[in-house]
Amino acid sequence: MTALGWARASVRRFLLVLLLPGLGAVIAGELWLGWRTASDAADAAYDRSLLGAVKSIDSSISTASGGIGVELPYRMLEFFELTAQGQVFYRVATEDGLVEIGSAGLPAPPRPLKTGQPQFHEGDYLGHAVRVGSYARELSPPLAGHAGPQRVVIQVAETLEARNDFRRALVLQSLARDVLLMLAATGLLALAIAWAMRPLDRLRQEVDARDPQDLTPMDDTGAPAEVRPLVQAINHHIERHREQTEARRRFIDDASHQLRTPLTTLATQVAYAQREADPAAQRQVLETIREQLDETIRQTNQMLSLARADSAPPQRQPFDAVALAEALVRQWWGLAREQGVDLGLDAPDGPLPLSGEPDLLREALANLLHNAIRHGGAGSHVTLVVRAETDGSVQLAVVDNGPGLPADELARAGERFFRGRGGALPGSGLGLAIVRTVSQRHGGQMAVSTGPEGRGLTVTITLPAARASETTSG
């Protein structure tokens, strides 16, 4: 299983699997260091005994007779052999080897001996692994017949049984101590991980215990610093869910509020048409029913557009604002001609790149054009204006010289279901609300003001400039 798989399975298991091998490596390194320390300690202790035996033999060497005389300290050698728990060998010889006493053939030191400085090394003697201590000093006086200075070499060797047993005992003690330490560390680590995971367990229990309708933020005041970002992320998700739930509830309320009256009116008109015997009167009622159905369909489409602008996930893409405006003017030119309205376009010759959702923006501008053409009446002028500002933003405005809105109602333009008191034609009051929501969804804003020369209405959508990465991604 990969590290990611372990982490998904259990954080506790992941931490233990990650840390225990590290502890094992530390223990292995400590054992190696323990072996080295034990070896150095054993060698230091036993080498001091070897040096003591060498010094004892050295003190019994005499050259007063012209030759080498050695009075061996047998009791000391017996005690040393008993302590070493093995065999002990010695050798006393001149450096040139002409005079030699004791065990011939002891391993020579690997490096030249320095006068008065002992040297210890391991070797093999008569099939036994031995540790040898070698020491050299000048003879005073030298042997008879030797003119210059002369050195004597003293060597004492012991087998390694006791030394190895002592080393092994130290290593086993170190191993037992390290195993106990590892078990204790593992237990403490498991307890520490369990203790550290308690805030997550409490968080899980709190989330599980919550009512499905409870969308209040969770309290993170008592959470550790490492857990607080998780609580904040959960609260952010709760807030988004609350906003979506509120948008759905608002849509249901809006739909029930807006559709109840026209559907009741349609039912009344259908009942009246059923009772009417005159074919001409029936046709007039059916024409009224058709107009009411068209308005109801339009209101329903507006509410669906508003719900989509409120809650649908954004799907931004690059587009050309000028091309969008030209397509809208061509789409609404036929209706404007039927109503006797002069519909025009004021836009630059070149493209104006934007990034956003062109379908929603087209729906918002279509609502503005529909309202301006419908309420302006015959002889009015409606212009769709597209212009780029110096800061890189783009403005899309619908300007008309129709009846407009009173000054005291301009501030409320854009509220849902708000219709001016001068509106003679039926409507839902959602057109400007859709425009405002689409503007905010694009990071822009909507502004409503009187038209040119104090007549009519101007509705302006200001959108931020598209980033270079967005304009080239398509």
402 contacts 411 by C-beta, under 8 angstroms = no
Q: Which residue has the tokens 């506790």?
A: 12
**Nearest Cα residue to 24 out of 172, 161, 189:** 189
**Residue 115: C-alpha distances to residues 53, 143, 149 (Å):** 17, 18, 12
Contacts of 161 (CB under 8 A, 6+ apart): 84, 85, 86
What would the mean pLDDT of 37-47 be, rounded to a whole number?
A: 80
53 contacts 156 by C-beta, under 8 angstroms = yes
446 contacts 413 by C-beta, under 8 angstroms = no
In the prediction, which pLDDT does 474 show?
42
Count CB neighbours of 336 within 10 A.
21
pLDDT tops 70 at residue 367: yes
pLDDT tops 80 at residue 251: no
| Angle at alpha carbon of residue 418, lines to 306 and 265, rounded to 5° | 85
Tokens of 298: 């339009």
Tens of pLDDT, residue by residue over 86-97, are: 788 888 888 877
Tokens of 465: 């400039």
pLDDT tops 60 at residue 400: yes
Q: Which residues pair with 135 in a beta bridge?
A: 154
Between residues 301 and 331, the one the model is more confident about = 331
Is the pTM here over 0.85, yes or no? Answer: no
| Angle at alpha carbon of residue 325, lines to 322 and 328, rounded to 5° | 150
Lowest mean pLDDT among 288-297, 329-338, 449-458: 288-297
Q: Which residue has the tokens 């390290």?
A: 178
Average pLDDT, rounded, for the chain: 77
Q: How confident is the model at residue 384 (pLDDT cuts 50, 70, 90)?
A: very high
Q: Which residues pair with 388 in a beta bridge?
A: 394
DSSP H helices in 312-357: 321-339
In the prediction, which pLDDT does 413 show?
64
Strongest mean pLDDT among 24-33, 306-315, 354-363, 411-420 = 354-363
In the prediction, which pLDDT does 473 show?
46
Contacts of 463 (CB under 8 A, 6+ apart): 321, 354, 356, 393, 394, 395, 396, 439, 442, 443, 444
384 contacts 371 by C-beta, under 8 angstroms = no
pLDDT tops 60 at residue 189: yes
The DSSP H or E segment spanning 448 is: strand 445-450
CA pair distance 204, 197, nearest whole angstrom: 11
DSSP H helices in 210-341: 228-275, 279-311, 321-339
CA pair distance 300, 471, nearest whole angstrom: 34
In the prediction, which pLDDT does 421 show?
45
Q: How confident is the model at residue 101 (pLDDT cuts 50, 70, 90)?
A: confident
- Coil/strand/helix, residue 91: strand
Tokens of 467: 């980033």
High-pLDDT (> 90) share of the chain, %: 8
In the prediction, which pLDDT does 467 show?
57
**Would you mind telling me the total number of residues written for the chain in this entry?**
474
Determine the topology of domain 12-167 in CATH.
Answer: Beta-Lactamase (3.30.450)
pLDDT tops 80 at residue 332: yes
**Residue 451: C-alpha distances to residues 114, 306, 372, 403 (Å):** 113, 26, 11, 10
| Angle at alpha carbon of residue 246, lines to 244 and 247, rounded to 5° | 65
* Longest CA–CA separation in the chain, Å: 166
Between residues 310 and 328, the one the model is more confident about = 328
The DSSP H or E segment spanning 125 is: strand 119-125
Q: What is the CATH number of domain 315-472?
A: 3.30.565.10
